[in-house]
Amino acid sequence: MTKTLFHILNGPNLNLLGQREPEIYGHHSLDAIEASCQKWAENHDIALLARQTNSEGTLVDYIQNAAEDASALIINPGAYTHTSIALHDALAACKIPKIELHLSNPHAREPFRHRSFASSVVDGIICGFGAHGYILALEAAFGLTHGQTSGQKS
């Protein structure tokens, strides 16, 4: 039997977690966050593919790959959240459950961060919980893929 596969995609500058503005993004490295996610996935019999890129086109490719072989997608688009129509369109075409994730709360930050091009085409948004947000996103994706939450858009 094939395990359920979730993809976690991370956008620009998230490779600098733990170094870049730790007062905003926390002290955990992306490697540490991914290790925590892998442990959660193993405990829930989920296969996990985690990727990070600073390239918008590569992130679009990753979304399209997830649409083909994953059961759910968790994405932290980083700054592309506020700028990328290409990510919006890729996410809109991706018909699996999708969770948008942010370490900080963009709505409590600079006004340019209040707009998300991803939010209207995902099933849910988790923000402001730091590194723990990744576990919350995994739990939400698990619920969506196992019929425990509806993911209905209003």
Across the range 14-43, mean pLDDT stands at 86
Across the chain, what does the average pLDDT equal? 89
Residue 54 has pLDDT above 60, yes or no: yes
Domains of the chain: 4-145 (3.40.50.9100)
- pTM for the predicted model, two decimal places: 0.89
Residue 16 has pLDDT above 50, yes or no: yes
Across the range 134-154, mean pLDDT stands at 82
Of the chain, the percentage scoring pLDDT greater than 70 comes to 88
Determine the pLDDT at residue 116.
83
Active site residues: 25, 102
Number of C-beta neighbours around residue 24 at 10 A: 11
Contact of 114 with 35, CB cutoff 8 Å: no
In whole angstroms, how far apart are CA 140 and each of 12, 100, 143? 23, 11, 5
Report strand pairing: 72-76 vs 46-52.
unpaired
Residue 154 has pLDDT above 60, yes or no: no
